[in-house]
Structure 1
Amino acid sequence: MEDLLTKHYGLQPERSFKDGRDQRYMADGSIYTIVNVTKMEQDALLELYKITEHMKKYGDRYVSSFVPTTEGRFLVSENEQDFTVLKNEYHSGDPGDRLGRKLAKFHQRGLAIEEKVSHISRIGQWKSLWEKRIEQMEKAFQLVIENRPGDEFERIFIDSCPYYLGLAENAVQYLVDTEMDDNPVYTDSGTVCHERFLEGVWGREISIRNPFDWVFDHCGRDIAESVRERYFKRQTTHQPDIQKFFREYQSVAPLSSFSWRLVYARLLFPLHYFETIENYYLSNSEGQHFQLEDKLQGYLNSTRQYERFLGSFYQIGEVPVKSYGIPAVTWLG
């Protein structure tokens, strides 16, 4: 891959290093990342390019820039694969420091996008995407029952699936009620979010905001996925960390009642369970199967704890539920 930088960009990388899941290359004091874009539509790439330019214009110095080749093109082909190259300047400091504040500022910049975003947009699509996932899970469940569970993972899946399907349907209903009962404000407009805003997505060794991690959505998407990860990392001691994250975020951008309810709906939807089942059936690796079985068993062993977390979520978030008129989910807690 290093040859691609020399051949098409005239760069001589001095060293390469792994940062999170990405391979980075140092050349002339800057950091370069090669991205395979073979399966991406040209219009989606153009949309990402425009969004990165917007985010940089609004002061985000950590956002990657698309680099033209020596011939002025943004795409190169090698071995029937398409690639683009991203460039970042080196900025030291912990990417995870005061993450709540940084995320809120990132979302504020994204709110200012005036051009219509369509290719990477997920705005207003949660209900249909969740319902599709529920339908797929129901089909997988029926299939395993018909063929009889073949291993321990499938036996656990059969025992647990009805409960998690019920939880997912509750999340859909909570989302529908929110969209009917509550009124979004300006900060509930679409902004630049992440497919999954998890630890390390902005780099571990250095701060890099990679546009290929982005989707256009409600800010509650990133907030909820960060909170979900924080909860499962520290199931018994999650409260101080989650409160700190919310306080940091709201010191920049206070959340509306609509935002809080969307965050809650997303946490109610058991994405962690769905992804574990989906990843198991997508993988052919025996090692990964064992890991996912352990993960699934861990989720089942802590079902009651997660229910208690959901039941106390608004309290942890220090949300004024009465003045906001936020309804409780009565069976939790």
Structure 2
Amino acid sequence: MSVKVLENLFGITPEQTIQDGSSVRYMVDNSLYTIIQVTHLEQEALIELYEMSEHMAKYGDNKVSTFVPGLNEKFLVTHEKQDYVLMHNYLFPPSRNNNTGRKLAKFHERGKLIQAPISGANRVGQWKSYWIKRLEQIENVWRGVVQERTGEEFEKLFIQSFPYYLGLCENAIQYVTDTELDEELTFLDMGTICHQTFHENVWNKQMEIRNPFDWVFDHPSRDIAEWVRDCYFLNSRSFQPDLTQFFRGYESISPLSIFSWRLVYARLLFPLHYFSCIEDYYLTSSQWTQKQLEERLSRYLRDARDYERFLGNFYQLAGVGQENFPAIDWLVPSYLE
């Protein structure tokens, strides 16, 4: 069906089909095309993604996916009651620059220059409200699980651990509040184009494609913190060299203010990894996936002390020292005693 959409609505006949992770891409000469189903998206959201994509391409990011008009000269096409857009990329050889920090800083610097108003995708200053809403949703699930107590191993772990992660979440919210009260914003703290959840593999797949459908508009610390979180959980025993390289690369292009460092830390305090694990468990109907998530949750709880040590030493590990930043006294979770 995708090939039919490509041929009938865009007048493009693919020469080759490529599986790139979970995405199917179609090659024509030196171009790659990706069809994205957007029936669930509001038109205003698509316009914002279009504006961000056009901006990044205009300012020299040649890895960005750009929107392709159909034969009817419209970017949004409909086939069998489903809406689609087509994204275009040029095919480049793998980048020689493997410093993700440096590449991300350049990306953020370009994103800061956008003039088009971004509202629906704007997350600047909204972390606390998002976190509170997410916390309340998880807490409601937890209360229901406590009442039912089915005896499932995952639910035992969830019941046991949630109060501890509730405390972490409250610490994160308070840290953002204190940062907003204590620190002045600088020109380094302008909002920019960011990712919903940035990590090493967002760009370092088979093809380095920068997909606007991964984007939001936020403070650059969002992407930095999520990269650090992913780096830590991938290599919790040996992350230090990658962390050092990342921050050196990033700050060689865009130095971080004290405000930025504190937001990075606040976001690492927020237990997104834990919340995502719980949410994914209750959203899937696959027993295999649930078992994988149970094992992941068990690892998070087993290694909670290590993550506390990481948070407690973060500023030193990142090379900026503790003296300019407020410390938090970490308590060992009672269920690990």
Residue pair 1:9, 1:68 contacting (<8 A) in 2 also: yes
Q: Deviations over 1:170-222 (max 9, x none)?
A: 11011110011111111211100000112322251121111000000000000
Q: Which amino acid aligns with 1:8?
A: L
The alignment partner of 1:251 has SS state of helix
1:142-221 maps to which residues of 2 (within 5 A)?
A: 142-202=143-203, 204-221=205-222
User: Unpaired runs of 5+ in structure 1?
Assistant: none
The alignment partner of 2:78 has SS state of strand
Range with bigger deviation, 187-196 or 15-24: 15-24
- TM-score, normalised by the number of residues in structure 1: 0.96
Distance in 2 (alpha carbons) for counterparts of 1:30 and 1:80 = 28
By how many angstroms is 1:20 displaced? 2.4
What is aligned with 1:13? Answer: 14
By how many angstroms is 1:247 displaced? 0.7
Distance in 1 (alpha carbons) for counterparts of 2:31 and 2:91 = 6
Residue pair 2:194, 2:220 contacting (<8 A) in 1 also: yes
What is aligned with 1:283? Answer: 284
Residue pair 2:225, 2:265 contacting (<8 A) in 1 also: yes
1:240-319 maps to which residues of 2 (within 5 A)?
A: 240-319=241-320
What is aligned with 2:325? Answer: 326
Q: Deviations over 1:31-89 (max 9, x none)?
A: 00111111111111111111111111111111111001122111111221100000000
Distance in 2 (alpha carbons) for counterparts of 1:277 and 1:95 = 38
Q: Deviations over 1:94-123 (max 9, x none)?
A: 487111111000000011112321011111
Range with bigger deviation, 87-96 or 273-282: 87-96
What is aligned with 2:239? Answer: 238
Distance in 1 (alpha carbons) for counterparts of 2:185 and 2:322 = 16
What is aligned with 1:138? Answer: 139
Distance in 1 (alpha carbons) for counterparts of 2:211 and 2:240 = 30
The alignment partner of 2:136 has SS state of helix
Residue pair 1:94, 1:205 contacting (<8 A) in 2 also: no
In structure 2, relative to structure 1, the CA distance for the partners of 1:94 and 1:149 (3 Å cut) is farther
By how many angstroms is 1:29 displaced? 2.1
Residue pair 2:100, 2:200 contacting (<8 A) in 1 also: no
Range with bigger deviation, 86-95 or 234-243: 86-95
What is aligned with 2:116? Answer: 115
Range with bigger deviation, 95-104 or 157-166: 95-104
Residue pair 2:308, 2:330 contacting (<8 A) in 1 also: no
The alignment partner of 2:85 has SS state of strand
Q: How many residues align?
A: 331
What is aligned with 2:226? Answer: 225
What is aligned with 1:126? Answer: 127
Residue pair 1:104, 1:249 contacting (<8 A) in 2 also: yes
The alignment partner of 1:18 has SS state of strand
Range with bigger deviation, 211-220 or 196-205: 196-205
Distance in 2 (alpha carbons) for counterparts of 1:82 and 1:50 = 19
Distance in 2 (alpha carbons) for counterparts of 1:321 and 1:19 = 42
What is aligned with 2:56? Answer: 55
- TM-score, normalised by the number of residues in structure 2: 0.95
Distance in 2 (alpha carbons) for counterparts of 1:67 and 1:202 = 21
Residue pair 1:101, 1:248 contacting (<8 A) in 2 also: yes
The alignment partner of 1:3 has SS state of helix
Quote the sequence identity (%): 52
Q: Over the residues paired in the alignment, what is the CA RMSD in angstroms?
A: 1.4
What is aligned with 2:335? Answer: none
Residue pair 1:95, 1:207 contacting (<8 A) in 2 also: no
Runs of 4+ in structure 1 displaced over 3 angstroms? Answer: none
